Copies of this chain bind each other. A is one copy, B any other.
Amino acid sequence: MLSKKCKYAIHALVYLAEKYQQGPVHISEIAQKKHIPKKFLEAILLELRKSKVLLSKKGKGGGYYLHQKPSDVNLMDIIRIMDGAIALLPCVSLNYYEKCDECRNEKSCGIRDSFIQVRDKTLSILGGSTLDKILKYEKSMASK
């Protein structure tokens, strides 16, 4: 399961993709529209800014906005920033690998093999899920 923090981050980013190139958006606006606790969202957006996903402008008329085009931001990257590993086992993670105590010979571990498959499929789907595709999907479904 993704953490709430991560889920909030995704929703906030989809909202900012909708407002892409329309100037900075207030935290309060996002919090209200997406039903996210404001103070919590504050910390989330700050984290996304530090990871170069967002840019911000302080002071009056300030707010947050996307650093890149919506087509350059995907769910895989967001989840890794907010929650860390995507793989279901540490010994199978590409970015957050940790050795497993249970098996001596990693290569012959039949458990790993299944989770490597899950990891690769998941990365492929999430890596292809960009903010613009998510928006397009929502607009195509809204008319139905």
A10 proximity list for chain B (CB < 8 A): 111
Q: How far is the CB of A18 from chain B (nearest CB, A)?
A: 11
Return chain B residues, CB-CB under 8 Å to A122: 118, 121-122
A41-81 CB mask vs B (1 if < 8 Å, else 0) is 00000000000000000000000000000000001000000
Q: Which residues 1-48 in A have Cβ within 8 Å of B in the complex? A: 1-2, 7-8, 10-11, 14, 34-36
Most buried by B among A102, A105, A141: A102
Q: Quick check: A34 and B102 within 8 Å, CB to CB?
A: yes
By a CB distance below 8 angstroms, the chain B residues around A7 are 89, 100, 102
A107–B1 touching, CB < 8 Å: no
